């Protein structure tokens, strides 16, 4: 069936929607696993539940809610007890004041991001975002919006700076940011985020009273997973004038290894949240009611939840630090690798600058795809290149996710990586 014929029967949007680079890579990995090869799969931004199980207390609350027959439709914006608990949580931890009507519950963060794009953007309006970053290009495509992607620098920990965004700020209807950032695990400093917020406020002051504001979508789904002396900063805490323009994305998926439980929330200006609620009401992207009831009770448990969070953070940080230490030792030994000290999330940013080198069987490594394939074949190492997150094709940087890693296997993995590097010439 030729493309012209197909386009007559589907929308241009769906016909031109790009597939996931990560899913393509997953197919290659599965082929090798099916062929009996041992693969250390650090590609997916998820948790192996056998290594990082759901907190027992949350699991028990979910079972209890089902036993209590909490299985009918939830309220369109989420059950009131959960919205009340979220309001208390963000007040306690972030000192942010949001009413229950400014909070929206959905089946994870993804529907909320989609709803925010749909609620704010008209076709052909522009979204300004840094790369590497997760899925902003796809959400823009789904919304028929135009992308303005700004490639960030490794010396800035891949976090955007105000001066990089400023040339495009007047064109944009939405700025999309994330901290801690997927795929890098790096975070905004207080000064950097404040400068960006000041830029957005200044732009909104410039716009006519009847002109659509410039909004900020702030994805902080990983914010509870920060390590060491790292602090999380958010727009409204830094600059209260940002409140009418900021839509936060949050949830339990990452902070409690609960990716499959599908409870996420957004909070922001009530008029935007209300429109997002209407959109998701028609889509039916609610979090299941039993899971909402359970999450409300779990958040209300206070100390129990905090203990589970502390345990998860310790386990993640231990793995990130072990990999970072290994890569630092490789770099010190003269290998063409690097890594960025872990600050948050479940990701380590690693560098393999091995293009131009030759493999033991005489193949010249020319492209990022060649690098990915060599690491997969020689070390059984599966990681995601930043190209998959919008970075330029010549980027040497990769995302290593530790959600599937076992502590006792890390020395083995590092040993295989070192042998692969030794084999190059």
User: b vs e for 187-219, b when ≥16 Cβ sit within 10 Å of the residue's Cβ?
Assistant: bbbeebbbbbbebbbebbeeeeeeeebbbbbbb
- Could you tell me if 269 and 373 lie in one domain? no
Q: What is the CATH number of the domain that holds 150?
A: 3.40.640.10
Instruction: Please count the other Cβ atoms lying within 10 Å of the Cβ belonging to residue 31.
Output: 11
Q: Which domain holds residue 7?
A: 3-52+307-422
The CATH number of whichever domain residue 350 belongs to comes to 3.90.1150.10
Q: Are residues 164 and 37 in the same domain?
A: no
The angle, 0 to 180 degrees and rounded to 10, between the axes of the packed helices 56-67 and 289-300 is 130
Confidence band for 171, pLDDT divided at 50, 70 and 90: very high
> Do 242 and 312 share a domain, yes or no?
no
Residue 263 and residue 169 share a domain: yes
Region 165-172: what's the mean pLDDT?
Answer: 98
Q: pLDDT of 82-101, one tens digit each?
A: 999 999 999 999 999 999 99
Domains in the chain, number = 2
Q: For the chain, first and last CA: distance in Å? A: 46
pLDDT (0 to 100) of residue 5: 46
Q: How far apart are CA 145 and CA 31, in angstroms?
A: 36
Please report the sign of the dihedral spanned by the C-alpha atoms of residue 341, residue 195, residue 248, residue 121: negative
299 closest CA partner among 36, 95, 83: 83
- Same domain assignment for residues 334 and 411: yes
- Report the distance separating Cα 68 and Cα 232, nearest Å: 37
Judge whether 106 and 286 are in contact, CB under 8 Å: yes
H or E element that contains 400: strand 397-401
Q: Are residues 221 and 336 in the same domain?
A: no
The answer on pLDDT for 398 being more than 90 is yes
Same domain as 239, residue 364:
no
The residue among 134, 139, 217 whose CA lies nearest residue 181 is 134
| Domain final residue, candidates 302, 319, 339 | 302
- Please give the average per-residue pLDDT across 279-299, as a whole number: 97
pLDDT, residue 6, reads 54
pLDDT at 58 over 90: yes
Task: Examine the pLDDT at 362 and tell me if it is beyond 90.
Answer: yes
pLDDT band per the 50, 70, 90 thresholds, residue 8:
low
Give the Cα separation of 157 and 316 in Å (integer). 20
Q: pLDDT, tens digit, for every residue of 221-237? A: 999 999 989 999 999 99
Q: Return the structure tokens found at 51.
A: 């290594």
Q: Answer yes or no: is pLDDT of 125 > 70.
A: yes
Q: If you count them, how many residues does the chain have?
A: 425
How high does pLDDT run on average in the chain?
96
Same domain, 385 and 418: yes
The pLDDT, as a whole number, for residue 95 is 97
Closest by CA to 225, choosing from 185, 265, 188, 196, is: 185
DSSP string over 12-30: HHHHHPPPPHHHHHHHHHH
Task: Give helix 410-422 / helix 368-379 axis angle, nearest 10°.
Answer: 120
Domain boundary (302, 330, 357) is at 302
Is residue 315 a contact partner of residue 402, using CB atoms and an 8 Å limit? Answer: no
Do residues 271 and 379 share a domain?
A: no
What confidence category does residue 7 fall into, taking pLDDT thresholds of 50, 70 and 90? low
Number of Cβ within a 10 Å radius of residue 253: 22
DSSP string, 237-296: HH-GGGGGGEEEEEESTTTTT-TTT--EEEE--HHHHHHHHHHHHHHT-PPPHHHHHHHH
196 and 252 belong to one structural domain: yes
260 and 341 share a domain?
no
What average pLDDT score do residues 155-173 get? 98
Q: What is the pLDDT of residue 33?
A: 86
Burial class (CB in 10 A: 0-12, 13-18, 19+), 240: exposed
Q: Are residues 260 and 315 in the same domain?
A: no
Q: What is the pLDDT of residue 182?
A: 98
Decide: 203 and 244 in contact? Cβ < 8 Å.
no
In the chain, what percentage of residues exceed pLDDT 90? 92
What is d(CA 111, CA 282) in angstroms, rounded to the nearest whole number? Answer: 12
Among the three residues 279, 302, 325, which one is the final residue of a domain in this structure?
A: 302
């Amino acid at each position: 069936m030729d493309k012209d014929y197909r386009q007559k029967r589907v929308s241009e949007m769906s016909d031109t929607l790009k597939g996931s680079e990560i899913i393509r890579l997953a197919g290659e990995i599965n082929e090798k696993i099916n062929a009996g090869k041992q693969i250390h799969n650090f590609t997916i931004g998820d948790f192996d539940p056998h290594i990082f199980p759901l907190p027992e207390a949350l699991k028990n609350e979910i079972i209890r809610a089902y036993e209590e027959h909490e299985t009918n439709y939830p309220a369109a914006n989420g059950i009131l007890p959960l919205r009340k608990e979220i309001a208390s949580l963000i007040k306690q931890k972030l000192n942010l004041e949001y009413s229950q009507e400014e909070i929206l519950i959905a089946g994870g963060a993804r529907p909320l991001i989609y709803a925010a794009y749909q609620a704010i953007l008209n076709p052909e309006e522009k979204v300004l975002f840094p790369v590497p970053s997760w899925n902003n290009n796809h959400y823009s495509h789904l919304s028929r919006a135009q992308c303005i992607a700004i490639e960030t620098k490794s010396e800035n920990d891949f976090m955007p700076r105000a001066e990089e965004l400023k040339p495009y700020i007047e064109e944009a209807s939405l700025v999309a940011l994330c901290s801690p950032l997927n795929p890098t695990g790096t975070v905004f400093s207080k000064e950097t985020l404040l400068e960006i917020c000041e830029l957005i406020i200044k732009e909104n002051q410039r716009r006519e009273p009847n002109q659509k504001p410039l909004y900020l979508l702030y994805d902080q789904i990983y914010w509870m997973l920060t390590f060491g002396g790292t602090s999380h900063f958010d727009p409204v805490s830094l600059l209260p004038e940002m409140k009418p323009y900021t839509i936060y994305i949050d949830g339990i998926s990452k902070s409690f290894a609960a990716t499959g439980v599908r409870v996420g929330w957004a909070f922001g200006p009530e008029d935007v949240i209300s429109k997002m609620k209407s959109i998701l009401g028609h889509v039916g992207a609610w979090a299941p009611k039993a899971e909402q009831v359970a999450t409300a009770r779990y958040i209300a448990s206070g100390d129990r939840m905090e203990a589970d969070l502390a345990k998860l953070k310790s386990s993640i940080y231990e793995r990130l630090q072990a990999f970072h230490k290994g890569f630092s030792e490789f770099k010190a030994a003269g290998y063409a690798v690097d890594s960025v000290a872990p600050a948050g999330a479940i990701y380590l940013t690693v560098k393999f600058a091995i293009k131009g080198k030759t493999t033991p069987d005489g193949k010249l490594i020319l492209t990022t795809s060649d690098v990915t394939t060599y690491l997969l074949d020689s070390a059984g190492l599966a990681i995601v290149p930043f190209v998959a997150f919008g970075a330029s094709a010549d980027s040497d940087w990769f995302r290593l996710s530790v959600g599937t890693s076992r502590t006792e296997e890390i020395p083995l993995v590092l040993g295989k990586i070192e042998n692969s590097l030794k084999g190059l010439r």
